[in-house]
Amino acid sequence: MNRIIPPGSTIGILGGGQLGRMLALAAANMGYRIHVFAPEDELPAGDVAAEVTRAAYTDLAALDRFAASIDVATFEFENIETAAVRHLAGLVPVRPGAASLEVSQDRLEEKRFIEGVGGRPAPYFAVDSRADLDAGIAALGLPAVLKTRRFGYDGKGQARLASVADADAAWAALGGQPAVLEAWLHYDHEFSIITARGVEGDTAVYPAPDNRHKQGVLASSHVPAPEVIAAQVPAATALALRVAEALDYVGVLTLEFFACADGPRFNEMAPRVHNSGHWTIEGTRASQFENHIRAICGLPLGSTDLTAPDIVMKNLLGEDVHDWSSILADPRAHLHLYGKGAVKPGRKMGHVTWLSPLA
């Protein structure tokens, strides 16, 4: 299969959300066409794509037609059936491959994988029954967090336990699904390592942002990060590069970390472009979206150098989207709206990035 996909080719994106939208915009600037494949009626990525296929990821006939129309495929979120990705990979290059999905879709397997390449997740305990939860509490102590093994994101699919009395409610809240109990870590900050890896194994790493959350959802990212994070970036970056190599990864890969007193602790992995990297659109010479397109098309990776000394990205959640007028009045602000219809509390409707004046 071709390793270099030249401009003028068509890139297929599995998933039609805002990450796909920003990938499509970056690809268009480089002369590529985009074909989006997703089942939803509302597709922010579809609004800026040359072609859209609305079908279930399990529809193999639709995937066959999709493959015939594209030159390379990628995905913009990780909750896609790996069987569909493997089927597509038999017809057209898929970058990154299904192996990264198989690891990231299961929190237990993800933690075991990270330990296998020398990383340190929070202490954890596999929970497949209510009795397992009691055993996990006894082993790890409290407070702790119970998380579903699969399909959790943005604070969904998890429940915090402050005391033993919370166990029944936490187990019920997760619907009795297979889960992982994680010890509650004491940490100063959260940060992420975003790296791009090309088809020949070349890599580019972005400056680590200081990520601040509200109710389990990313609220803002700040660059540069404070010294407490900067001191832990080398070890975290080394782990991210080992993960990428172990998976023979192609594209942008994100690892989230807690900055703890004893060094970085791995939190989660995302085999895709990431919310904590949205600031790179204006804040670096080549954004995470551009570098993902470069990587999957076999092109040289772009520079991750900063374009400003201080950068802040804020998510526009729910009603925040209505602040667009005041944001546009700020000459330092760069507004991105995702074209979503219904405004719901906590829903990511857009983001805004502020750049300080260049030094």
**pLDDT reported for residue 359:** 37
User: pLDDT over 90 for what percent of the chain?
Assistant: 94
Percent of the chain with pLDDT over 70: 97
pLDDT at 142 exceeding the cut of 90: yes
For the chain, how big is the Rg over CA atoms in Å?
20
Reported residue count of the chain is 359
In terms of Cα–Cα distance, which of 227, 244, 129 is closest to 181?
129
CATH number of 187-355: 3.30.470.20
Q: What is the pLDDT of residue 157?
A: 84
- Rounded distance, CA 218 to CA 22, Å? 18
Find, among 94, 53, 57, 100, the residue nearest to 78 by Cα.
100
**The pLDDT of residue 188:** 87
User: Per residue in 303-345, pLDDT tens?
Assistant: 999 999 999 999 999 999 999 999 999 999 999 999 999 999 9
Q: Tell me what pLDDT residue 29 has.
A: 98
Q: What is the pLDDT of residue 358?
A: 44
Mean pLDDT of 293-306: 98
Quote the CA–CA distance of 177 and 150 in Å, as a whole number: 9
Cα–Cα dist 212/225, whole Å: 11
Q: Using the predicted structure, report yes or no on whether residue 130 has a pLDDT greater than 70.
A: yes
| pLDDT tens per residue, range 37-84 | 999 999 999 999 999 999 999 999 999 999 999 999 999 999 899 999
Span 71-123, pLDDT tens digits: 999 999 998 999 999 999 999 999 999 999 999 999 999 999 999 999 999 99
- pLDDT level of residue 202 (50, 70, 90 thresholds): very high
Residues 66 and 79: their CA atoms lie apart, in Å, by 19
Average pLDDT value over all residues in the chain: 95
Q: What CATH number should be reported for the domain whose range is 123-183?
A: 3.30.1490.20
Q: Is CATH 3.60.40.10 what the domain over 10-94 is classified as, yes or no? A: no
Q: What sections of the chain are H helices per DSSP? A: 18-29, 60-68, 82-89, 98-104, 107-116, 130-140, 167-173, 227-230, 233-246, 280-283, 288-296, 324-328
Are the beta carbons of 74 and 89 closer than 8 angstroms? no
Beta strands of 138-297 (E only): which ranges? 144-148, 158-161, 179-183, 187-197, 203-205, 210-214, 217-223, 251-260, 263-270
The answer to whether 197 touches 251, Cβ cutoff 8 Å, is yes
Confidence check: pLDDT of 286 > 50 = yes
| Side-chain-facing half-sphere of 19: CA atoms under 13 Å | 21
Is the CB of residue 211 less than 8 Å from the CB of residue 190? yes
Residue ranges of domains in the chain: 10-94, 123-183, 187-355
Q: Give the three-class secondary structure for 15.
A: coil
Tell whether omega for the bond before 96 is within 30 degrees of 0, i.e. cis: yes
Are 10-94 and 123-183 equal in CATH topology? no
Residue of 296, 235, 290 lying closest to 262 (CA atoms): 235
Q: What is the pLDDT of residue 152?
A: 65
Q: What is the pLDDT of residue 216?
A: 83
Does the pLDDT at position 155 exceed 80? no
Answer positive or negative: Cα dihedral of 3, 61, 45, 315. Answer: negative
SS3 readout for 224-239: CCCHHHHCCHHHHHHH
pLDDT value at position 317? 97
Q: How far apart are CA 70 and CA 226, in angstroms?
A: 43
Give the mean pLDDT of 158-163.
Answer: 94
